[in-house]
Amino acid sequence: MSDKITVMLVDDEHLEREGLKLMLKKNRPNVEVIVEARDGRRPLTLLNNMNLI
């Protein structure tokens, strides 16, 4: 059993994000999307708040 991989999915196109999520769910069940965003501001803020950057 492989370890869970968590990702932040960032793309300005909603349909692209949805397609990427679907592909990940189908082909990489060990990958979990924990954050979605349409630009880099939100993920950077979250990473900063989590002391990861």
Condensed to tens digits (0 to 9), the pLDDT of residues 5-21 reads 999 999 999 999 999 99
What rounded mean pLDDT belongs to the chain? 90
Express as a percent the part of the chain with pLDDT over 90. Answer: 66
SS (HEC) of 1-53: CCCCEEEEEECCCHHHHHHHHHHHHHHCCCEEEEEEECCCHHHHHHHHHCCCC
Give the start-to-end residue ranges of the domains of the chain: 5-49
Q: Is the pTM of this model over 0.85?
A: no
